[in-house]
Structure 1
Amino acid sequence: MMAKNPAIKGSWDEWEKAHFTPEEIAASDLRVELIGELIKARQERGITQQKLEALSGVKQPVIARLERGTTVPSVSTLLKLLAPLGMKLSIVPIDS
């Protein structure tokens, strides 16, 4: 559990559970994980956002907003970004 945050009068986990449905929390967690993996793959390969634009056709400002989490990418945008990184999107069972 995270430490208390005076700005939200409790922990983030408590605030999150009080303001979002479990489905919203799961969707947010999935987006964070997905974008984190995309950033990690780009950085591990030494590819800048500008180079990824050239390789994928997705404009650098879109990549930047996606990486900051200020936009929710479409599946087609994700596929365009993942391909030049040598990755693909898979659907797998959820671990119980």
Structure 2
Amino acid sequence: MTSNAIAGTWDEWEKEHCTPEEIAESDLRVALIGELIRARQERGITQKQLEEMSGVTQPVIARLERGTTSPNVSTLMKVLAPLGKKLAIVPM
């Protein structure tokens, strides 16, 4: 039996198919989503509870955590505030 799988790592594929800007955006998105999920779980808050605290609906929070939506800044600030987090612009 032969395999049709493509050999290599995600990093190799990403470097071959994405621009440095796209890679940076992806890395930032992954870090943001990871921090959001971590902060919610550390506080023992469900997505439904976060909905009640933030005013952002649970389905939107779920899509945000899955990375299937690109939320606007207002939505992010609403979700992060009850988690004790804020968006900041810092030098690179």
TM-based fold match above 0.5? yes
Letter in 2 for 1:16: E
Q: Give the number of aligned pairs.
A: 89
Mapping 1:1-96, distance limit 5 Å: 7-94=5-92
Structure 1: 5+ residue stretches without partners: 1-5
Letter in 2 for 1:44: E
Structure 2: 5+ residue stretches without partners: none
- How far has the Cα of 1:73 moved from its partner? 1.5
Task: Indicate the percent of aligned positions where both proteins have the same amino acid.
Answer: 78
Higher relative contact order (CA 8 A, sep 6+): 2
Instruction: Point out 4+ residue stretches in structure 1 off by more than 2 angstroms.
Output: 6-9
Q: Secondary structure at the match of 1:33?
A: helix
Paired residues of 1:79 and 1:89 also in contact (CA < 8 A):
yes
Letter in 2 for 1:14: E
Letter in 2 for 1:89: L
Paired residues of 1:8 and 1:15 also in contact (CA < 8 A):
no
Q: Which moved more, 1:47-56 or 1:70-79?
A: 70-79
| Separation (CA, whole Å) in 2 of partners of 1:45 and 1:72 | 24
String of CA shifts for 1:32-62, please: whole Å, max 9, x gaps. 0011001101000111000000010101011
| Separation (CA, whole Å) in 2 of partners of 1:65 and 1:92 | 26
**TM-score, normalised via structure 1 length:** 0.87
**TM-score, normalised via structure 2 length:** 0.91
